[in-house]
Structure 1
């Protein structure tokens, strides 16, 4: 049985796509750019704020952009986001119940996101009881972002669990790459921002359709894909 579960945030623990679209397009408008289609954001998110800004600018400024453009857009985006990070954010059905069940069974829980650390911790605190998670980290300046395994390995160490006894759970190729690089088994979730094909190509050990399947994996009741 696995001893710990480490979760991605966007598209895994929280349905944040509409929130990111809203704040992204609001920031673009304030900086004089057109909006980006919602579906395009599915593939822009997940790599951290800096790459999100660069991806957005590539969409709306095909002739190129400057570093000053990146800095201004990111500052505008983060100022808007920090005012109300729960705007348009929802829990996924059944997720909180699964988290509580895992916790009650003695499974240690962590969060690792490429979203800025302050926003990550605020969202987790506002969406779930802070006591559900033993460790919660977003992107920090002194830790390389996913798919580097550094953050996942740091969490495993803090939890006192060997990587081989951890599950890394996320919705994208970045998450699967993170877990594999950390020596953890991976779970790809289909309720997030990406598709089964991406998760299969990224060699997810398990692919699940709903949160309760995570519990079956932890308890050893599910076969690997």
Structure 2
């Protein structure tokens, strides 16, 4: 029986691709580079902002990463202003979260986005109290970024749960690897930034085309009428 759902943020709970592209575009523009395409943005995200900037620079005119360190600083300043640009919940997510709360299932967020920006996104889109825990990147506290299992393991400890009681949901290979590394069940969501083929390769417990697929899956596993 599942007692907790651990959600990735970008591409899983919220469509933030326009905010991410806007932030990368303004960063690259500072060096006379870019803009980055939507499709490349979807491919470059998922492993934290440092890898996002590294991949963007390499693909858009700075293969030697000459501007890398300065670009990180620029991006962090730009992202403070752009992180909520056109960010919204995916269709069906509010209904899924309401169902989980009704069933007494913990709802948590675990993102590689900087922690404060994660909090900003969640508070901008969702009502207070929607989630029991919300965590972004916390490497300064000794919790490695996904796909390391640290964040998942910390949540499980905090909530006093067993691994078998948790379902990790995400839209990228990083998310599937996170679930595998933490030894919890995974659900790959197909409405986000990556495709079926990438997620299928990790053999998740569920491949969901819509949030209501997750609801029906949990109803089945938890024997809910």
Distance 1:58 1:107, change over 3 A: same
Indicate if the aligned counterparts of 1:117 and 1:138 stay in contact, CA closer than 8 A. yes
**What SS class does the counterpart of residue 88 from structure 1 fall into?**
coil
Which residue does the alignment assign to 1:118? 116
State how far apart, in whole Å, the 1-side matches of 2:221 and 2:128 are.
28
The 1:62–1:82 alpha-carbon spacing in structure 2 relative to 1, beyond 3 Å, is closer
CA distance in 2, matches of 1:202, 1:17: 24
Residues 189-212 of structure 1, C-alpha deviation per residue, up to 9 Å, x if partnerless?
000000000011122111001111
Secondary structure class of the residue paired with 2:47 = coil
Name the Cα RMSD after superposition.
1.4
**8 Å contact from structure 2 (residues 12, 192) kept in 1:** yes
For 1:155 and 1:99, locate their aligned partners in 2 and report how far apart those are by CA, in whole Å: 18
What stretches of structure 1 move > 2 A for 4+ residues in a row?
A: none
| Deviation at residue 61 of structure 1 after TM alignment | 2.6
Deviations 1:171-192 (A, max 9, x none): 0111011011111100000000
State which of 78, 81, 84 in structure 1 corresponds to 2:79.
Answer: 81
Note the residue ranges of structure 1 that are not aligned, 5 or more in a row: none
Q: Deviations over 1:33-88 (max 9, x none)?
A: 1212221111100000111111111112354123xx22211221221121242112
Q: Which residue of 1 aligns with 2:55?
A: 55
Question: Which deviations, in whole Å up to 9, do the C-alpha atoms of 1:127-163 show, x marking residues without a partner?
Answer: 1123011111111122110100110110111122111
Aligned residues: 220
Distance 2:159 2:219 in 1: 19
- Answering whether residue 217 of structure 2 is matched by residue 217 of structure 1, we say yes
Alignment correspondent of 1:72: 70
1:2 and 1:219 in contact (8 A); partners too: no
Matched residue, 2:174 = 174
Aligned to 1:194: 194
Instruction: For 1:145-184, list aligned pairs within 5 A.
Output: 145-184=145-184
Shift of 1:221: 5.6
User: 1:79-129 deviations in whole A, cap 9, x for unaligned?
Assistant: 112124211212101101110110121000110011111100111111112
**2:127 maps to 1:132:** no
